[in-house]
């Protein structure tokens, strides 16, 4: 009887532990809400960072902060970490340089990533039409000025790199 009781306790423990572990899901951006925040802020809100702040718990403040000596040491780059091992990095230092972002996520399917990129791009309120050049590259239809996205899949994570400029 003791063996059955012990086996029962072990099984219940395994089930409880596996149910308690949350699986990462890349939540769909609320385009209307992000676009409203962007316009209400006179286009000063970083919509990608705002998306992560609204949808995932931050595990750090801004770290690795970069200051731009060309602009009175204004903040021009940083990294911020979120739950699930999400890492967001922003960089826009120097005169007339493109805005660069890198987002590291737990491994996520291409279909989910592509939809997230399209919706996040739409939330930025730009008039430039983007298209998928391949399964991993998204950018302006005319390949001119605008925002470019690249997806890189690793064994355990996914990296989305963005580059916006002229």
SS3 letters across the chain: CHHHHHHHHHHHHHHHHHHHCCCCCCCCCCHHHHHHHHHHCCCCCCHHHHHHHHHCCECCCCEEEEEEHHHCCEEEEEEEEEHHHEEEEEECCCCCCCEEEEEEEECCCHHHHHHHHHHHHHHCCCCCCEEECCCCEEEECCCCCEEEEEEEECCCEEEEEEEEEC
What pLDDT score was predicted for residue 16? 45
Examine the pLDDT at 59 and tell me if it is beyond 90.
yes
pTM for the predicted model, two decimal places:
0.84
Tens digits of per-residue pLDDT, 66-116? 999 988 999 999 999 999 999 999 999 988 889 999 999 999 999 999 999
Examine the pLDDT at 2 and tell me if it is beyond 50.
yes
| pLDDT tier for residue 118 given thresholds of 50, 70 and 90 | very high
């Amino acid at each position: 009887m003791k063996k059955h009781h012990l086996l029962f306790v072990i099984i219940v423990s395994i089930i409880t532990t596996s149910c308690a572990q949350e699986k990462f899901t890349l939540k769909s951006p609320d385009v209307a809400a992000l676009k409203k925040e962007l316009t209400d802020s006179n286009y000063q809100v970083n919509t990608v960072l705002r998306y992560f702040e609204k949808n995932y718990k931050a595990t750090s403040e801004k770290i690795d902060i970069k200051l731009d000596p060309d602009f009175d040491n204004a903040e021009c780059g940083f990294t911020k970490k979120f739950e699930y091992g999400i890492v967001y990095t922003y960089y826009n230092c120097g005169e007339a340089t493109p805005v660069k972002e890198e987002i590291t996520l737990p491994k996520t399917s291409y279909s989910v990533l592509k939809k997230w990129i399209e919706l996040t791009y739409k939330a930025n309120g730009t008039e430039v039409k983007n298209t998928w050049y391949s399964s991993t590259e998204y950018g302006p239809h005319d390949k001119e000025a605008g925002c470019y996205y690249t997806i890189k899949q690793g064994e355990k994570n996914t990296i989305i790199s963005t580059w916006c400029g002229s």
